[in-house]
Amino acid sequence: MTVVTIDKDICTGCQECTKVCPVYAIEGNPREPQKIVEERCVNCGQCVQKCKSYVSLVDHGAELYAQKRAERHLPETVAEPLFAAYNVCHLDEVITALNSPKFTMVMAAPAVRVALAEDFGMPLGSLTPGKMAAAMRKIGFKRVYDTNWSADLTIMEEGTELVKRVTSGGTLPMFTSCCPAWVKYMEDQHPELTKHLSSCRSPQQMSGPMFKTYGAKLNKVDPKDIFLVSVMPCTAKQFECSRPEMNASGQRDVDVAITTRELAYLIKYYGIDFNSLPDEEFDMPLGDYTGAGTIFGVTGGVMEAAIRTGYTLITGKELNGKDIDIKTVRSTEGFRTAEIKVGDLTLKVGVLTYLKNIDPIIEKLKAGTLDLHFIEVMSCPEGCVSGGGQPKLVLDADVPEAYKSRRESTFAHDKNLPKRKSHENPAIKKVYDEFLKEPCGEKSHHLLHTTYRGSGGHH
């Protein structure tokens, strides 16, 4: 499935994209159109963020602009420059579903709420979960849920899986599996190592089967009538939801993934004045989340969320006060390790940010010298806040400031939420009581876990 592509009519061959591609998947001569080698591409969309060659209404006229906009299936309300590197847009499918009798549901990932407002002229990193929920409801979605809820669910499953691997001699180190670009890289380049990946689906792909089984019951609708849209900071999520094995609910688990940028297009298409919207809540219970769920959006966040709950799973005690902030894993460096005392166990962890830094880690893994229990990997430079689907930063000078502001907003959101550990989320407790029974149990295994190419699993 093509997710990210370069328009040869627009590309000037400046090769800025080749510098940011973490897997060296872009080829071509200087000053000639570049080409993406699909076999190597992980769909991270960093080239989309970096691209500077564009077609605009002002410089190139209405005819060429309209042609390019139509080729990309963009709404007619889009009037901003169209860049050579872009991700394939699925908004036409979303608009069709909204105009149909389908029971439409939408969810937004943690990093969307700290970036969406930038496309409406607000300061970089503005935190707007309430406006975002209001906008999605105004667009006409019948239920406005939150991927943060399933980030909390992911921690329950992943934390339990980690404890099992550590205590019963499972494959270690265990790597996080919530970044689909990273998963694709492992399957394509190192299929023999995919057994090191957590079997947990990503929060997006946990939401799908949960919203179409448990959520269908709550809403008294037939799962076949549900159309689920996810809003992601990420272009690789489009690839992930189209994977053939992502149908644990009996349907396609997530129907369409759109980017933060595309949600902004949609809000403008429906003529909604985002900045003046009063804050609204997400629909409950599948919109309830903790601080642990929201920090999934930054590099180190999945690790920190996992430790907050893993500590309780291992010791039976709670982290409180300052101890909840596990600053040793909050990193924007290439690779950082930490040792964390969890009762009698010293948990050895690693946080890798930006897939460009992965090679030495893979070499150590192959050599058997990677002495760690658990490693978080994010393909993008500072995790999901810097994803390929976030608002485009045309000026390079804005990039560090945007990443920093989005990170700070994420941690502020975490700090100000009443509950900050996934296992404290009442909606998560309820779903285990009523439906899943236990983390990593039989039902969870079917709905919330997966296998990988190379591990004797799906192709």
List active site positions: 158, 161, 178, 198, 237, 240, 245, 384
Q: In 251-390, where does DSSP find H-type helix? A: 260-269, 291-294, 301-315, 359-367
Closest CA to 308 of 320, 297, 300: 320
Nearest-angstrom CA–CA distance, 355 and 24: 11
Other CB atoms within 10 Å distance of the CB of residue 56: 14
Query: Would strands 256-259 and 226-232 be described as parallel, antiparallel, or unpaired?
Result: parallel
What SS3 state is found at 54?
strand
Cα-based torsion angle of the residue sequence 406, 411, 412, 416 in order, rounded to the nearest 10 degrees: 140
Tokens of 269: 């298409």
Asked whether the beta carbons of 60 and 83 are under 8 A apart, the reply is: no
The number of CA neighbours under 13 Å toward the Cβ of 398 is 14
The number of CA neighbours under 13 Å toward the Cβ of 393 is 20
What SS3 state is found at 31?
coil
Query: Would strands 374-378 and 345-353 be described as parallel, antiparallel, or unpaired?
Result: parallel
